[in-house]
Structure 1
Amino acid sequence: MAQCLPFVIALAVLVIELTPAHFIYTGPLLTAMPALAAVTLGPKGTLAAAALALAISVTTATYNQAWTTLQVYTNFLALALVSIAGLLTSSAVQARRRSELEQVRRIAMAAQEVVLRPVPARLGPVRAASLSLAAGTEAQIGGDLYEAVGTRYGVRMIVGDVRGKGLTAMRAVGVALGAFRETAHYEDEPTEVMNHCSAALQREVAVPGAYSQTIRLEGFVTAVLAEIPDEPVVHVVNRGHPVPLVLHRGRVHALVPALSCPPLCLEELVTDLPRKAESYPFAVGDRLLLYTDGVTEARNRDNEFFALAKTMEAVRADTTPQEFLEELHQALVRHTGGHLTDDVAMILVDRLE
């Protein structure tokens, strides 16, 4: 409403000046337009308000044949001075806000990097790499999570996405990753690792306070867990997350689960959850990609989704995992024109033995 006030004033002045009510002195009203715009509309809005006020002043002075009076020129001088002061003030305020926002964003990104660490380059029978990209939406921390660890059961990886953004989402990320990092080393069944992550989130929801209320409303987590043992297979537990992709001999295969399962914290939606992970072939030379929906839901100017599988097949076979992810990153930037609307997280592993 405050942003419309300068233009409401402009309309009021026109009504007064172009009707029999023009005996009312409107100079102070026009002078107030750039001052109000400086507070609410920024430099461009201030300039537009000043230009509009000047145009109205010229129009009304001509209509009322007031160019011979000294008051007209006094009004122009006052309008010019207030406009200049408004532009300077608005530019300074905008610069300060930009600086404060950048500082908050740097702090948010630092906090995110503490929780999300790069995966090791070599884990048992696989080479690995990770990639995390922020959407750049002000200072909001995203809710993407990922981790890969070597255990006595094989290499275990998780990629997930907390609904929502901000510190609430980041806290949920920390809870889920903490549970995964602990239980991945002693639970022999991947489904139990995932269940522990969900239980940890549910315990956090049960804590009284504003945070738990926010999580209850919007904080469920989609996640996929993959386990790579010594055998040429990969065991997958998918809880409402985009399906992993395997690149085998130049062709991409989606690891679609036989049974759809709800995200973490929404187990009450089903009567029974699978007790065993699903297994898929994963031979030497194959590549496995876990990712968040920020990749597949990225759109171009024509509102077309990013063709992840096709892009994977186009990447050279001799690239390292990190080079492979960088190729996907560059293709994603080209597709979106550099404007991501959601955060992106990916883990890629190559089977070496």
Structure 2
Amino acid sequence: MVIPLALIVVITLADVHSPDGVSLGPLLVAAPAITTAFAGPRLTGLIGALALGAQTFLAARSGGVATSNHIAQLTGLAALSVFAVLVCYVRDRHKEQLAQVRSVSEAAQRALLRPLPERLGPLHIASSYLAAEKEAHIGGDPYAVARTDERTRVIIGDVRGKGLSAVGEAAMLLGAFQEAAHQHAALHVLADALDRSVHRYLTQFPEADEEAQEHFITALLLEIPDHSPVARMTVCGHPTPLLIRHGTVTAIASPHTAPPLGTWELGPDTPRTAHAFSFLAGDTLLLYTDGVMEARDPTRTFYPLEERVAHCAKNSPTALVHHVQQDLLAHTHGALGDDAALLAIQRSHTAALSGLHLGDLVHGASRHGRAHDRHERAPAPPAPPAAAHPARQDRRG
């Protein structure tokens, strides 16, 4: 507020000390005009009134207020001050409406992509989401976790498309996962159920979206038992995670990669299976989406994720995710071409694991997954009661 007030004082004093025939009073219109940049309608009106008073004072000193020239100057200054007040009023109304829209948008987006707990069973979890669209908190890269008996199930996906246009399919996938994660004992069967859900969603209103047949969602499903140093994953066209162990970064390769979710009607090209690998106390898994792998700098160089993760491999999950996020933004100069999601999961050193030999556990987990494959594909009667208790299966596997 010092700027317009000082402007009024300086112009008034300059006019008083200026030679006869030189009138600086019309410059007073700058005071209310400048005030609209940072003040509301009341303060703008106050500055306009002060400028009008100064103009009246200058007019009275040089020939009287009743002259046609001074009347025109006063009328113009008054009209501009009123217009400035109206501009401030309309602008503030729009700002309030925009603030309400942003508040509703943020609440809706946070309700869809809920913050993950830092601790879940024996696991430490940290996540990060970078939306490609400005003012957006989420887009088409959903992730979620679910606790089922004595294990944790995780999903991370990537909807075809980006930004807010992909939120609908992301919301559908998260809802389907939270429900189906508690109904299917085998991980690959859970993936099949999600595939059918996505397909139904995409084809429910074909007339509303002519490109519905071309939509799909890549996904990675992960299952981590509490008391076994193993993890199982089912890959549906999604990038496989990075395993960090003793400061060394290794890409987990899956021997079987199934098509993305939503391609159920195309037929069983590749049957979904659950791949088991060792996941010891102190190990960290980094899950990510294509937006991280395909991020480019101004020279079109891809972001070297595995190389950059190796520089902070001994960090905690929270520090690891924060480092990769900041490094990714620095690499792209803040201009992401796609949504990017990161999810770090570390098994606690205090986790109470089984005393079985690790090789037996991994072999048993794989054998257990193959048994599930045979059981789920066979057109047999309903599963026996033991299949409804995945906790006992986890202890065996």
TM tier, shorter chain?
Answer: 0.5 to 0.7
Q: Residue 299 of structure 2 is aligned with which of 299, 302, 325?
A: 302
Distance in 1, Cα, partners of 2:201 & 2:256:
28
* Cα offsets for 1:257-290 (capped at 9, x unmatched): 1123111112344534435300111111110011
The AA in structure 1 aligned to 2:283 is: D
Which residue of structure 1 lines up, in the alignment, with residue 234 of structure 2? 237
Identity of aligned residues (%): 39
Relative to the length of structure 2, the TM-score reads: 0.59
Match for residue 167 of structure 2 among 149, 170, 173: 170
Match of 1:323 in 2: 319
Residues 179 and 249 of structure 1, relative CA distance in 2, 3 Å threshold? same
Say if 1:162 and 1:221, in contact at 8 Å, map to a contact too.
yes
Residue number in structure 2 paired with 1:31: none
RMSD of aligned Cα (Å): 2.8
Structure 1 unpaired stretches of 5+: 1-91
User: 2-side partners of 1:206 and 1:335: how far apart?
Assistant: 39
Distance in 2 (alpha carbons) for counterparts of 1:316 and 1:255: 15
CA distance in 2, matches of 1:297, 1:328: 14
User: What secondary structure, in the 3-state scheme, does the structure 1 residue paired with 2:114 have?
Assistant: coil
Q: Distance in 1 between matches of 2:191 and 2:177?
A: 7
What do the CA deviations read for 1:127-154 (whole angstroms, capped 9, x no partner)? 1111111123576962110001221251
- Unaligned stretches of 5+ residues in structure 2: 1-87, 352-397
Alignment partner, residue 200 of structure 2: 203
Rounded Cα–Cα distance in structure 2 between residues aligned with 1:263 and 1:243:
13
Report the equivalent of 1:274: 271
Q: 2:333 aligns with which of 325, 328, 337?
A: 337
1:225 to 221, 224, 241: 221
Match of 2:346 among 332, 343, 350: 350
| Equivalent of residue 257 in structure 1, options 238, 254, 264 | 254
Cα deviation for residue 338 of structure 1 reads 1.7
Task: Give the secondary structure class of the aligned counterpart of 1:253.
Answer: strand
Contact kept? 2:132, 2:162, Cα under 8 Å: no
What is the distance in 2 between the residues matched to 1:143 and 1:178?
Answer: 14
Please, which of 112, 118, 122 is the counterpart of residue 121 of structure 1? Answer: 118
AA at the equivalent of 2:250: H
My pick for the range that moved more, 165-174 or 185-194, is: 165-174
**Could you say what secondary structure the match of 2:142 adopts?**
strand
Q: Is the 8 A contact 2:296 2:332 kept in 1?
A: yes
Alignment CA distance shift 1:166-1:342 (3 Å): closer
Alignment check: 8 A CA contact 2:142 2:157 kept: yes
Instruction: Tell me, in whole angstroms, the C-alpha distance in 2 between the residues paired with 1:348 and 1:211.
Output: 37
Q: Shift of the alpha carbon at 1:295? A: 0.7
The 5-angstrom pairing of residues 57-72 of structure 1 reads: none
> Counterpart in 2 of 1:144?
141
For 1:143, what is the secondary structure of its paired residue? Answer: coil
| Letter matched to residue 224 of structure 1 | L
| Partners of 1:276 and 1:302 in 2: CA distance | 39
CA–CA distance in structure 1, aligned partners of residues 188 and 230 of structure 2: 16
The aligned counterpart of 1:161 is 158
Task: Report the CA distance shift for 1:204/1:280 in structure 2 as closer, same or farther (over 3 A).
Answer: same
Question: Over alpha carbons, which structure has the higher Rg?
Answer: 2
CA offsets 1:220-277 (integer angstroms, 9 cap, x no match): 1000011111211110101001111111111111112112311111234453443530
User: Aligned ranges for residues 43-54 of structure 1 at < 5 Å?
Assistant: none
- Letter of the structure 1 residue corresponding to residue 290 of structure 2: D
Q: Report the secondary structure of 2:310's partner residue.
A: helix
**CA separation of 1:178 and 1:327: change in aligned 2, threshold 3 A:** same
1:188/1:236 CA distance change after superposition, 3 Å: same
Q: TM-score, normalised by structure 1?
A: 0.66
Deviations 1:17-49 (A, max 9, x none): xxxxxxxxxxxxxxxxxxxxxxxxxxxxxxxxx
Match of 1:292 in 2: 289
Deviations 1:172-229 (A, max 9, x none): 1111111111111231101111122111111222323654544333x21000011111
Distance 2:137 2:231 in 1: 35
* Greater shift in the superposed pair: 155-164 or 195-204: 195-204
